Amino acid sequence: MPQIAAHRRGAGRRRRQLLLLASALVVGVAIVELGFRYWGPTRIQPRRIEPGVPFIARPGNRLEYRPGATFSSVYDPSADSRGYFGATGRIDYAINEYGFRGPAPIVPKPAGVVRIACLGDSFTFGEGVRYEDTWPVVLGKRLNASRPVGSDAYETLNAGVQGYGLLDCLLWYGIRIEKFDPDVIVLAFFMNDLMETKETIRINDEMHRPEAVRGLAKYSAVAAYFQRRRHAEQLQEAFFQSIRDSFDASGCKTLNDALSGLHNYATERGVRVVVVVFPVLWGLDSAYPLTEQHGLVAAACVRAGIEHIDLLDVFRGEHADRLWVHPTDQHPNEIAQRRAAEAIFELLRKK
């Protein structure tokens, strides 16, 4: 009988210990949940475009900005650590009569002007930054500030178009920009520029679309946080993989042929061409995900005989998020734009 009583007392102690442990776990989970609800990471609203990017379709499903259009990017000002956007969180864009950002150039080109056509996608257009902070404008100011007295003035055209790839940029040049008689072409190559424009736009829209809350995340702030984080990581990796896939044999042939054709065109017309490679602003201080692809672009430039500069060398070692326009948008901010302009300036003045 004493053994049975001792056994029962031991079983009772274990039950009480398990009950206390379970109670502690419940209390701990509740504390964490309350902490996330009231002191945890604030949900940042994704960037939105108002009233929407004013593209118009041309023959062959080619997209252009509507001449004279205005639209805006709107960011959550609560996450604007630099105070760049102001209380409204807005960045406004104005498209000129020729279909690109900034004032319309004079035609024909005035005497005494060195005109530089800057081609590229949203990194050149300057999504998320004011026009005066885009690298083409900063480059023009830098060149003019350093030119000898009495020498030709520099004029830069920001001919970047959101979502454009390599072939889009070159076609856009032939259709619209060539008539402005540029003396220099600066082609900004972003790492997704071998992807189709529609795919680029689709991925961009998906990365900025609010995720639908599912399952436990509907009721738990902790679960919602980890669901959003996992979803963002999956989208990011899918983006990188899409870029890697675009550098297949067909993509590399397109890259080589396009740059070779651009070099031949420029040589015939006495136009200087420079290719500027923009990295993805991710993993710059650790394991950058697309180093091999940068090497392929550099090799293509060498084969084509085109001057080039890789901004991965300029930005490497940086905390990438310090170069973003906003926590919800990885486009280069005014700091990154200025550093890009300075690197391009150093290259252009060598010749």
Number of alpha helices (DSSP H) and beta strands (DSSP E) in the chain = 10, 12
Amino acid at position 104, single letter: A
Amino acid at position 87, single letter: A
Residue pLDDT, tens place only, 286-335: 899 999 999 999 999 999 999 999 999 999 999 999 999 999 999 999 99
What whole-number distance in Å separates Cα of residue 187 and Cα of residue 121?
Answer: 10
Position 101 in a domain: no
Query: Are the C-beta atoms of 258 and 265 separated by less than 8 Å?
Result: no
Query: Are the C-beta atoms of 160 and 126 separated by less than 8 Å?
Result: yes
Range name among 10-19, 77-86, 252-261, 300-309 with the lowest pLDDT average: 10-19
Are residues 270 and 131 part of one domain?
A: yes
Residue pLDDT, tens place only, 149-205: 989 999 999 999 999 999 999 999 999 999 999 999 999 999 999 987 666 667 666
Which H, E and C letters describe 214-273, residue by residue? CHHHHCCHHHHHHHHHHHHHHHHHHHHHHHHHHCCHHHHHHHHHHHHHHHHHHHHHCCEE
Going 247 to 252 to 256 to 257, the CA torsion angle's sign is negative
Position 77 in a domain: no
Query: Residue 170: which CATH number?
Result: 3.40.50.1110
Residue pLDDT, tens place only, 21-55: 656 655 545 565 565 455 545 678 889 999 999 99
pLDDT of residue 9: 59
Q: Are strands 113-119 and 153-158 parallel, antiparallel or unpaired?
A: parallel
Are residues 116 and 22 part of one domain?
A: no
Position 294 in a domain: yes
What whole-number distance in Å separates Cα of residue 202 and Cα of residue 205?
Answer: 5
pLDDT of residue 222: 55
Position 61 in a domain: no
Are residues 323 and 225 part of one domain?
A: yes
pLDDT of residue 7: 53
pLDDT at 225 over 80: no
Overall number of domains in the chain? 2
Position 53 in a domain: no
- Percentage of the chain surpassing pLDDT 70? 79
pLDDT of residue 204: 64
pLDDT of residue 113: 98
pLDDT of residue 270: 97
pLDDT at 236 over 90: no
pLDDT at 4 over 80: no
Position 66 in a domain: no
pLDDT of residue 242: 93
Position 70 in a domain: no
Amino acid at position 187, single letter: L
Q: What is the mean pLDDT of the chain?
A: 88
Position 81 in a domain: no
| 219, 222, 225, 226: CA torsion to nearest 10 | -110
pLDDT of residue 209: 61
Are residues 159 and 32 part of one domain?
A: no
Tokens 């060498």 label which residue? 302
Q: What's the domain range around 4?
A: 1-40
282 or 19, which is more confident: 282
Report the pLDDT averaged over residues 234-241.
86
Note the pTM of the prediction, 2 decimals: 0.85
The encoded tokens of residue 274 equal 């420079």
- Percentage of the chain surpassing pLDDT 90? 71
What whole-number distance in Å separates Cα of residue 137 and Cα of residue 123?
Answer: 13
Are residues 31 and 120 part of one domain?
A: no
Are residues 158 and 250 part of one domain?
A: yes
Are residues 342 and 210 part of one domain?
A: yes
Peptide linkage before 108 cis (omega within 30 of 0): yes
Are residues 302 and 164 part of one domain?
A: yes
Are residues 151 and 31 part of one domain?
A: no
Are residues 289 and 185 part of one domain?
A: yes
